[in-house]
Amino acid sequence: MKPRDAPHILLVNPWIHDFAAYDFWAKPLGLLTLGGILRTQGARVTYLDCLDRFHPSCGPAASPPVRCGRGPYLKTVIAKPPGMADIPRNFCRYGIPPDWFRSDLQALDPPDLVLVTSLMTYWYPGVRETIEVVRSVFPKAPLVLGGIYATLCPEHAGSTCGADRVVAGPGEGAVLSLVAQYTGWSPPPCFDPLDLDSLPRPVLDLEHRLVHVPLLTSRGCPFQCAYCASHRLQPRMMRRSPASVVDEIVHWHRHHGVCDFAFYDDALLVDSDRHIAPLLEGVVAAGINVRFHTPNALHVREIDRPVARLMFQAGFHTIRLGLETTAFDGRQTMDRKVTEAEFIRTVGYLKEAGFRAGQVGAYLLAGLPGQELAGVEASITVVKQAGITPVIAHYTPIPRTAMWAEAVAASRYDLASDPIYCNNAIFPCRNEAFTWDALTRLKNLARA
């Protein structure tokens, strides 16, 4: 290929290997944003999604979008990882069958560069299998791995997954130099990686069927919770202008018929007067009928009466509050998010604004190092008494977080030896009281 020729770049979203997985408004937004950058610069971009719920080979029996765009992935039972034979659940490959993926690859022109993303650290076996299949079809194509796993476990990713290169951190500032290194194509950048408004829209239009759209209105988080890697993944707080976000929402709704949008922000409501308030006012002024969802959770203390009203008017539909625990007096070493009075006050504001109890849930962490079962049960009771839904969130040990050393010491697995043991489905840090029967009782208590 001549240096001046625009290259063909293949983007790949890999399979998930896990005991459970479900499409809760999940998209590889970082990868798709890189695709938007490359396409705007003039490259030819192709996208293959191993998790595609609407792959053409599904045929007319493909499940329609359910529950506001969410839905189940296809899955195939596979062998459990070593050391997990005692887990009383099936282990599966989530996503399309390998022969479909191989056929999709074989139908493409050979790419000049392959970019593969990664999410949870313990999902790396699916990343590795995906890369193996890409290699078998395109053995000469250079392949670069990025994403969360690649950022938090770069050494492990480099020695395990078979990529030519592992890139840690946000990719916008590195992608053009990577392409130049591997293809010789080096156009002058038409964006600024430190100006989020200058980034083009993600290439979501390359999806076979677009039923929900992720929104990232800001990056980073001013809080540094002991269990969270947000500050490590995005050390710098940056925001888009409210007007640019409104323009994007209107674009996907009017030109692609999308009604469901999921906010991916870690700190969506912080500094609300200058960010979320004008953003939601812009949505209301646009006169569009859309639904917003917050799978990443909202900071409880940032919701006051005006913000709650704006959220309702703009179309918020699924609200998740980042409560984590109701042991308010002893949470200072974990986070500083909320007091009991703030939690009760916020729930009152949301109800007053018009939200139904079933629309509002509070995440409660279960399986923290040293956590007692009774503490989780008490938290469930407090949330239910407040009149909203308790949502059990399994604690995931994450390398490079403040709680990591405590998690390593508390786990019955050797977490430091292999990210596979950080899988929250196996409750890697649970004590003896957290039996599988007890965990089932917790889930039933939350649903009752």
pLDDT category at 211 given cuts 50, 70, 90 is: very high
pLDDT at position 148 over 60: yes
pLDDT at position 54 over 50: yes
The CATH number that domain 212-447 falls under is: 3.20.20.70
Sign of the alpha-carbon dihedral angle for 124, 31, 51, 230:
positive
pLDDT category at 438 given cuts 50, 70, 90 is: confident
pLDDT category at 372 given cuts 50, 70, 90 is: confident
Task: Report whether 263 contacts 293 (CB < 8 A).
Answer: yes
pLDDT, tens digit, 9 for 90 and up, residues 88-141:
999 999 999 999 999 999 999 999 999 999 999 999 999 999 999 999 999 999
As a whole number, mean pLDDT of residues 379-403 equals: 93
As a whole number, mean pLDDT of residues 32-58 equals: 96
**Which residue from 201, 49, 28 is spatially nearest to 118, judged by alpha carbons?**
28
Return the exposure string of 375-410: e unless at least 16 CB atoms fall within 10 Å of the residue's CB, then b.
Answer: bbbebbebbbebebbbbbbbbbbbbebbbbebbbeb
Res 289: pLDDT: 96
Res 235: pLDDT: 80
pLDDT at position 335 over 60: no
Domain range summary for the chain, segments of one domain joined by +? 8-183, 212-447
Res 133: pLDDT: 98
Residue 184 tokens read as 């010789």
- In order, the DSSP letters of 197-244 are GGSPPP-GGGSSS---EEE--EE--S---TT--HHHH--S-EE--HHH
Res 1: pLDDT: 43
pLDDT at position 435 over 70: yes
Q: What is the dihedral of CA 262, 67, 323, 395, to 10 degrees?
A: -90
Res 195: pLDDT: 95
- In order, the DSSP letters of 72-105 are PPPEEEEPPPTT-TT-SS-EEEESS-HHHHHHHH
Residue 125 tokens read as 């076996």
Res 90: pLDDT: 96
Task: Report whether 64 contacts 289 (CB < 8 A).
Answer: no
Res 330: pLDDT: 55
- Residue linked to tokens 């590795």: 128
Residue 288 tokens read as 């569009």
pLDDT, tens digit, 9 for 90 and up, residues 280-322:
999 999 999 999 999 999 999 999 999 999 999 999 999 999 9
Res 218: pLDDT: 95
pLDDT at position 10 over 90: yes
Res 337: pLDDT: 63
Q: What is the rounded CA–CA span in Å between residue 292 and residue 56?
A: 28
- β-partners of residue 363 are 391
pLDDT, tens digit, 9 for 90 and up, residues 220-275:
988 888 888 887 888 888 999 999 999 999 999 999 999 999 999 999 999 999 99
- Count of CB atoms within 10 A of residue 118's CB? 29
CATH 3.40.50.280 fits 8-183, yes or no: yes
> For the chain, what percent of residues have pLDDT higher than 70?
95
As a whole number, mean pLDDT of residues 17-44 equals: 97
Mean pLDDT, rounded, of the chain = 92
Res 3: pLDDT: 44
pLDDT at position 2 over 50: no
The angle formed by the CA atoms of residues 340, 346 and 348, to the nearest 5 degrees, is: 105
Res 338: pLDDT: 77
Sign of the alpha-carbon dihedral angle for 37, 40, 44, 49:
positive
Top-ranked range on mean pLDDT: pick from 8-12, 191-195, 341-345: 8-12
Tell how strand 291-293 and strand 316-324 pair up: parallel
**Which residue from 268, 324, 320, 316 is spatially nearest to 297, judged by alpha carbons?**
320
What long-range pairs does 268-273 form, CB within 8 A, spacing at least 24? 268/217, 268/218, 268/294, 268/296, 268/298, 269/298, 269/299, 269/302, 269/303, 269/307, 270/222, 270/299, 270/302, 272/302, 272/304, 272/307
pLDDT at position 167 over 80: yes
Q: What is the rounded CA–CA span in Å between residue 323 and residue 347?
A: 11
pLDDT category at 4 given cuts 50, 70, 90 is: low
As a whole number, mean pLDDT of residues 152-158 equals: 96
